[in-house]
Chain A
Amino acid sequence: MFLESVVNQLLRDTIRPAAAAVLCVLLLPAESSRAGSEIYTNAVRPLLAEKCVSCHGAVRQQSGLRLDAGSLILQGGDSGAVVVPGQPEESELLLRVTADDPDLRMPPEGDGEPLTREQTDLLTEWIRSGAAFPEDEPIPEGPSSHWAWQPVRRPAVPDVSDPDWSHPIDAFVFRSWQEHGIAPAAMADRRTLLRRASFDLIGLPPTREQMAALLNDRSDHAWERAVDRLLASPHHGERWARHWMDVWRYSDWDGYKMAVRGSQRHIWHWRDWIVRSLNADRGYDRMVTEMLAGDELAPEDPNVLAATGFLVRNYHNSNRNIWLDATVEHTAKAFLATTINCARCHDHKYDPIDQREYYAFRAIFEPHHVRTDRLPGQADLMQDGLPRAFDASPDAETYVYIRGNEKHPDKDHPVSPAVPVVLGGSYEPAEVWLPVFASWPSLRDFVVEEDLERAQQQVRAAEAKVATLTGADGAEASSGPAQEALHVARLKLASLQARLEADRGRAGLLPDSTPALQKAREQTALQKEQEYRVAAAELNVHRKQAGLEAARSIDTEPERKKAIQKAEKELSTAQKELEKVRQDAAKDDQKYTPTGKHYPARSTGRRTALARWIVSRNNPLTARVAVNDIWMWHFGAPLVENVFDFGMRTARPEHAELLDWLAAEFMEHGWSMKHLHRVILTSRVWRLSSEVTADSAEADPDGRFLSRARVQRIDAECVRDSILAVAGTLDRTMGGPVVPFREADESTRRSLYIEHAYEKQATMLVLFDAASPNECYRRSTSVIPQQALAMVNSDLTVRSARQAAERLSQEAADADRFIERAFLELLSRPPNPEEQAACREFLLQQTDELQPNRQAVSEAGSGSGQTDMSPEQRARRNLVHVLINHNDFITVR
């Protein structure tokens, strides 16, 4: 037995397989077969899985050969046996992996590195020892039976004997407990539950009043009422928006100085759309559809166009391939938990997705681009505007990049848009003809009105100026320049009007138009435009001449000389400009300048078709993936561990039936997320205590069987928002432009609104594991000393502790009462007697320590600050500061 344990030890150590193989040759025959089988399981199978199985496995069977199970290896392929037990030199498998000829050697060039000497030694020894494998080794299932790709059917809710566990979620979980002999934890108490629900649904701690309301509600529906109240809060949308923003990769624009490199300015309109949609309980299906194709579905509705921020976010200025690769990868991961990105350079190694299918998926997005539309009231797009997606090049071709190398597109075989075949369903794009204002956004009523109004204002201002000048001294001469300016303003207005008329004609907005009439309109527009331009250039020259005169009349040097030089230079530039404008006006090939950009009148409908396919009742993944995410955010862990990969590497989860039931329930209730939240929060499983009993630690060590709640560290945003909430300073304003990330410590807005982009994130949030703007399908929860430093030393916590202490002192003069209220506010529970005593002692000692006569001896150089606080109040500030730093302030139990 000693020998066996030595071998086992070695076998676990796959890094030294050769040594293990050598050792096993020394074994007795009876143990040899068993050891061979263990070598297979521990070393050979992982090696084959890494090197061979992507082409010789359940997904693909090149040459009819599978190498993903011992029995299949011995069975061989189209050309016969590949392994002859006991005879490595007769085994084709070995010959092929050791061949010198690159045409014969496996894996083929480009599909993986050749095997190392140790690896081929391992195979040799395994075959020599008899090529044993465990008799009960299962044959890996093929794609057609992979759990995640089966249609969602609502499973029957198990009939459980105990009526307490009849809620559908409870029934599924209860059955699993029975099967595994697990006893669940007790139910959590109401205080713990309300704190848990409040962070879960609105991301803020419960107030004392809310707590009291629940504790005093003796009705049967007290809990349901509490859940409904939280779901009705506008903060609910803010809390859950942040979850989806992780998965949908929300990012504000990034770049160097003013140049945008990624995402777009004003993308926060999309964030506000998410918040609004969640608060309004818009169906998930509709949200997905609008994010992918809002521009095709409601081309003129800014409230829907904002949703396409999902696509806009992928914008990347330097390389269109990076942009589209990100779009493909994350659309597939976010909605379908499919790693289609693995098929960019070669066929997917684990799932039946070919490289060509990657590019077919890319073709769906090939025509699209981003632009920023004007919004009412703001003509300056640097200030505000609506970034949105649209099909800019409906006829753009997509090519397969050979081995993923963009330098080698396969131009002979353009790819048509399609979705991966393995996921089933039909993909049928139909072209969409856009309404006129979608392709001529500059002709929308509010744009025209605002622009005309601005031009008219300029005229009125010029008129007023002339009137003042003429009225002041009656001298015609002095109003000359003003007269000229008025003339120019009028010409500018006339030019705008004529160009608008020409644009309208082009856009087909004028009834009974003819080509001749349109030609005349465009001629007029050109003429008016040129008149304006020449006049404006002349005015500029006159102004510069006046400037030169003024410079000459300066009577100090060297100011005079400098001013003259500058004025002469400006005059010369103005004269050149005038010359150019005059020359242009004299040419006869000129065309008028339209008032805005004109975009294609048709959209390919490819993205609409994609969205329809994704949210189809028959798509096996969409609802399962969404429900899994939602479950994760309620419980702290998902049902399917790998939230972005439901492919063949992900085994059927423990609670697969529960997942399917939830998916069916979700779809059949209009994809309502609030419905799902209600169902989950009213289950007993969600309301279990997190206390670990000796039994549950044994039977369910990692909580996989849901026999107790998970203790969770609250998210970065919740940490910061909670500090502001207990201070009473939280600004509850919703929506709007971002708070610059450098102002995060001073700002009192919710963390959701703080700038969030590559290299532009608030330190406090990053320290507490905020989402990476680049990708975050699941938050991590680290425990690092920099978190403690931030909680101890940031102005935010010190300031907030003081504010909270002041607020609480107004309600509780008495120290014991203050302590109790502080615990209730910050930890949502009263202190136990031991804690109460420790805090009372602390307040007394600190108050004493901080007496003014003692202050004098405080060390030199340290900030003594805040002398306006009484020692009592300062001690209370310290106590609240300690509670902000308490582990349980940032923990939900």
Chain B
Amino acid sequence: MSVPGSVATRRQVMLRSGLGFGTTVLASMLQRDAAASDALSAAARIAPRAKSVIWLFMIGGASHLESFDPKPALNRYAGKTIDETPHADILKSPYLENERVVAFDPNNGFVRTECFPLQTRFRPHGESGLEISDWWPHVASCADDLCLIRSMWTEDSNHGAQLQFHTGRHRVDGFFPTIGSWAAWGLGTLNENLPEFVVMGTPVADCCGGQEAHRANYLGPQYDGVPLSVDPHNSMPYVSRDPQMQAREQQAEFDLLRRLHTMTAHQYPDDTALTARIRSYELAFRMQTAVPEVVDLSQETAAVQAAYGVGQKETDVFGRQMLTARRLAERGVRFIQVYHGSNGGAGSWDAHSNLRRGHARLCRQVDQPIGALLKDLRQRGLLDETLVVWATEFGRTPGSQHTSGRDHHPYGFSVWMAGGGIRGGIAHGATDELGFHAVEDRHYVTDIHATVLHQLGLDVRRLQVPGRKRLERDFGTPIHGIIDA
């Protein structure tokens, strides 16, 4: 969108000082321009703790009650209605008013009152003794790196909450910049060969926000998440050379284009868009190599691939994505958003029935790759500067639905973070006895955004552009209690 106005002036100075426009000079100028645009946002910076974020999003609403928030009371009261337990006041809580409905759905999105027992067991793990369910053995083996946040709440009791988790706004309010685009906008890139905000996995379906869950909206398309496929033959639209064109042939084309552009730049020294266009061709040229390279996992040892579950049926896809995520973070990509469970509709984690079978299967797909990622990052000394976030749009009802599942639950659910200067081995916040309402240290979704952006070194209050007023709640507040001092 806007190109820093200072570029033209600097170029004029160079021209007036008699400097030519040879390729070398141009290249060094391009670098400096990039540095200058980074400096623009320097005012919004604070000391960063993390360089990159790996953001894992489980589509459909993963159950907090079968993952990171044990509520044995549900086993005790199994079959009773909440009214019949000592916690009947849960159903009179003012927190219930936070729900905002887009469209009435006669089937889903209700408060379910018949207590449904936990579908799996919890055990304490690590020195911290964090209780994690048996469906997450690999993640649990990293318990001392995890900061569980057990007191999330959101507004949408339907799957528009997927969008809401990324923009901080209810689906009805429209589309807004997402967390990843704010990070890209605020920070700029660390790698001249790759985009700063990359998205993997099939996106949220269009019912629930679609591509808008990783777009930049009014910040401009250069801050949109750039979709990357782990298919080495088709990693990004138009990133591969057309089969009608040889590599040498294309190289010759780029050379001529650079020559012609340089001549034009001589003629129009004030044309900042032209400067930006020249730079974009340089980056595009490098992306043609860098993007296929980053998804080329053959560069990894067999042991590493095996650890991520690459090559095993259930874990292959997510394992490749996790390994690629690490490679992207290593290369300085700022924000790596990975979706899991997209199924063209609400998402596979949406366990209205058969929760036990469904969740156990989905956990098998992601648990080992996520565990491997955490260990790999730690082993390579990258965990300190890489913040891993695991999230989902809402939790699931303590009450049962269709006798074997749980309904949507916006009033209390869990996410976790690891690395990037976040304290490990702690649980922050809590839901009530039945896992219904977040009651201690309640956090709306933008508190997660604020914490992530804070760790990246951004002052969240500065993340606003003229003419686009953000509400108090859009900014969120960093959760200082979980940040490593």
A contacts, CB < 8 Å to B: 13, 15, 113, 254, 256, 261, 318-319, 322, 642, 691-692, 697, 701, 711, 713, 758-759, 763, 766-767, 769, 774, 780-790, 792-795, 798-799, 802, 832, 834-835, 838-839, 842, 845-846, 849-850, 858-859, 862-866, 874, 878-879, 881-882, 885-888, 891, 893
Q: Could you tell me the distance in whole angstroms from the C-beta of A447 to the nearest C-beta in chain B?
A: 34
Q: How many residues does chain B have at the interface if contact means C-beta atoms less than 8 Å apart?
A: 66
Task: Provide the bound-state CA to CA distance between A863 and B240, in Å.
Answer: 11
- Residues from chain A with a CB closer than 8 A to the CB of B281 are 785, 788, 792, 885
Given A789-B237, A790-B238: A838 and B461 interface contact (C-beta under 8 Å): no
- Residues from chain B with a CB closer than 8 A to the CB of A793 are 238-242, 245, 288
- Residues from chain B with a CB closer than 8 A to the CB of A794 are 238, 242
- Residues from chain A with a CB closer than 8 A to the CB of B263 are 832, 834-835, 838
Q: Could you tell me the distance in whole angstroms from the C-beta of A690 to the nearest C-beta in chain B?
A: 8
Task: Provide the bound-state CA to CA distance between A874 and B253, in Å.
Answer: 12
**What 1/0 flags go to B124-155 for Cβ under 8 Å of A?**
00000000000000000000000000000000
Tell yes or no: B34 within 8 A of A by CB: no
Is there an interface contact between B257 and A254, defined as CB atoms closer than 8 Å? no
Given A774-B174, A784-B221: A838 and B259 interface contact (C-beta under 8 Å): yes
Which of B172, B174, B287 sits near A785, CB closer than 8 Å? B287
Task: Provide the bound-state CA to CA distance between A891 and B1, in Å.
Answer: 15
Given A792-B238, A792-B284, A794-B238: A865 and B248 interface contact (C-beta under 8 Å): no
Which of A15, A701, A849, A858 sits near B252, CB closer than 8 Å? A849
Is there an interface contact between A865 and B243, defined as CB atoms closer than 8 Å? yes
Is there an interface contact between A782 and B1, defined as CB atoms closer than 8 Å? yes
Task: Provide the bound-state CA to CA distance between A788 and B238, in Å.
Answer: 9
Is there an interface contact between A849 and B237, defined as CB atoms closer than 8 Å? no
Task: Provide the bound-state CA to CA distance between A769 and B205, in Å.
Answer: 22
- Residues from chain B with a CB closer than 8 A to the CB of A691 are 268
Q: Could you tell me the distance in whole angstroms from the C-beta of A83 to the nearest C-beta in chain B?
A: 25
- Residues from chain B with a CB closer than 8 A to the CB of A697 are 270
Given A789-B284, A798-B244: A780 and B1 interface contact (C-beta under 8 Å): yes
Is there an interface contact between B252 and A863, defined as CB atoms closer than 8 Å? no
- Residues from chain A with a CB closer than 8 A to the CB of B220 are 780, 782
Q: Could you tell me the distance in whole angstroms from the C-beta of B168 to the nearest C-beta in chain A?
A: 16
Is there an interface contact between A786 and B252, defined as CB atoms closer than 8 Å? no
- Residues from chain A with a CB closer than 8 A to the CB of B330 are none
Is there an interface contact between B273 and A713, defined as CB atoms closer than 8 Å? yes
Show 22 A/B contacts (Cβ-Cβ < 8 Å), sorted by A. Answer: A13-B43, A15-B459, A15-B462, A256-B344, A318-B102, A322-B102, A697-B270, A711-B268, A758-B210, A767-B221, A782-B220, A783-B3, A788-B277, A788-B280, A793-B238, A798-B244, A835-B263, A845-B252, A859-B246, A878-B256, A887-B274, A891-B274
Is there an interface contact between A879 and B256, defined as CB atoms closer than 8 Å? yes
Task: Provide the bound-state CA to CA distance between A697 and B226, in Å.
Answer: 36
- Residues from chain A with a CB closer than 8 A to the CB of B43 are 13
Which 6 pairs across A and B sit closest by C-beta, in order of nearness?
A863-B243, A318-B103, A788-B284, A783-B276, A785-B284, A785-B283
Task: Provide the bound-state CA to CA distance between A96 and B236, in Å.
Answer: 57
- Residues from chain B with a CB closer than 8 A to the CB of A865 are 243-245
- Residues from chain B with a CB closer than 8 A to the CB of A785 are 195, 280-281, 283-284, 287
Is there an interface contact between B211 and A759, defined as CB atoms closer than 8 Å? yes
- Residues from chain A with a CB closer than 8 A to the CB of B461 are 15
Task: Provide the bound-state CA to CA distance between A891 and B252, in Å.
Answer: 23
Interface residues of B in 425-464 (CB under 8 A from A): 459, 461-462
Tell yes or no: B316 within 8 A of A by CB: no
Task: Provide the bound-state CA to CA distance between A631 and B224, in Å.
Answer: 30
Interface residues of B in 368-402 (CB under 8 A from A): none
Task: Provide the bound-state CA to CA distance between A891 and B276, in Å.
Answer: 13
Is there an interface contact between A866 and B252, defined as CB atoms closer than 8 Å? no
Q: Could you tell me the distance in whole angstroms from the C-beta of A59 to the nearest C-beta in chain B?
A: 17
Task: Provide the bound-state CA to CA distance between A308 and B236, in Å.
Answer: 40
Given A15-B459, A256-B345: A763 and B237 interface contact (C-beta under 8 Å): yes
- Residues from chain B with a CB closer than 8 A to the CB of A862 are 241, 246-247
Which of A319, A763, A787 sits near B102, CB closer than 8 Å? A319
Task: Provide the bound-state CA to CA distance between A845 and B261, in Å.
Answer: 19
Write the chain B residue with the least CB distance to A874: B249
Which of B221, B226, B261 sits near A769, CB closer than 8 Å? B221
- Residues from chain B with a CB closer than 8 A to the CB of A692 are 270
Q: Could you tell me the distance in whole angstroms from the C-beta of A117 to the nearest C-beta in chain B?
A: 14
Task: Provide the bound-state CA to CA distance between A881 and B472, in Å.
Answer: 50
Is there an interface contact between B260 and A835, defined as CB atoms closer than 8 Å? yes
Q: Could you tell me the distance in whole angstroms from the C-beta of B16 to the nearest C-beta in chain A?
A: 10
- Residues from chain B with a CB closer than 8 A to the CB of A766 are 221
Tell yes or no: B81 within 8 A of A by CB: no
- Residues from chain A with a CB closer than 8 A to the CB of B244 are 795, 798-799, 802, 863, 865-866
Is there an interface contact between B249 and A783, defined as CB atoms closer than 8 Å? no
Interface residues of B in 195-253 (CB under 8 A from A): 195, 205-207, 210-211, 220-222, 226, 236-250, 252-253
**What 1/0 flags go to B82-119 for Cβ under 8 Å of A?**
00000000000000000000110000000000000000
Tell yes or no: B55 within 8 A of A by CB: no
Task: Provide the bound-state CA to CA distance between A675 and B459, in Å.
Answer: 51
Q: Could you tell me the distance in whole angstroms from the C-beta of B408 to the nearest C-beta in chain A?
A: 16
Given A784-B222, A838-B260, A846-B249: A758 and B206 interface contact (C-beta under 8 Å): yes
- Residues from chain B with a CB closer than 8 A to the CB of A838 are 256, 259-260, 263
- Most chain B CB neighbours (cut-off 10 Å) among A789, A794, A802: A789
Is there an interface contact between A759 and B210, defined as CB atoms closer than 8 Å? yes
Is there an interface contact between B226 and A786, defined as CB atoms closer than 8 Å? yes
Task: Provide the bound-state CA to CA distance between A713 and B2, in Å.
Answer: 13
Task: Provide the bound-state CA to CA distance between A763 and B237, in Å.
Answer: 8
Tell yes or no: B325 within 8 A of A by CB: no
Write the chain A residue with the least CB distance to B3: A783
Tell yes or no: B403 within 8 A of A by CB: no
Is there an interface contact between B284 and A886, defined as CB atoms closer than 8 Å? no
- Residues from chain B with a CB closer than 8 A to the CB of A781 are 1, 273
Given A832-B263, A862-B247: A839 and B274 interface contact (C-beta under 8 Å): no
Which of A782, A789, A835, A845 sits near B238, CB closer than 8 Å? A789
Is there an interface contact between B250 and A792, defined as CB atoms closer than 8 Å? yes
Is there an interface contact between B238 and A786, defined as CB atoms closer than 8 Å? yes
Write the chain B residue with the least CB distance to A116: B472
- Residues from chain A with a CB closer than 8 A to the CB of B241 are 793, 862-863
Write the chain B residue with the least CB distance to A257: B344
- Residues from chain B with a CB closer than 8 A to the CB of A642 are 467
Tell yes or no: B264 within 8 A of A by CB: yes
Tell yes or no: B416 within 8 A of A by CB: no
Q: Could you tell me the distance in whole angstroms from the C-beta of B289 to the nearest C-beta in chain A?
A: 12
Is there an interface contact between A850 and B172, defined as CB atoms closer than 8 Å? no
Is there an interface contact between A786 and B242, defined as CB atoms closer than 8 Å? no
Q: Could you tell me the distance in whole angstroms from the C-beta of B478 to the nearest C-beta in chain A?
A: 15
- Residues from chain B with a CB closer than 8 A to the CB of A261 are 207
Given A838-B260, A882-B257: A798 and B249 interface contact (C-beta under 8 Å): no
Write the chain B residue with the least CB distance to A831: B260
- Residues from chain A with a CB closer than 8 A to the CB of B257 are 882, 885-886
Write the chain B residue with the least CB distance to A326: B174
Q: Could you tell me the distance in whole angstroms from the C-beta of B210 to the nearest C-beta in chain A?
A: 5
Write the chain A residue with the least CB distance to B221: A782
Is there an interface contact between B221 and A849, defined as CB atoms closer than 8 Å? no
Task: Provide the bound-state CA to CA distance between A759 and B248, in Å.
Answer: 37
- Residues from chain B with a CB closer than 8 A to the CB of A701 are 5
Write the chain B residue with the least CB distance to A783: B276
**What 1/0 flags go to B150-170 for Cβ under 8 Å of A?**
000000000000000000000
Task: Provide the bound-state CA to CA distance between A786 and B461, in Å.
Answer: 31
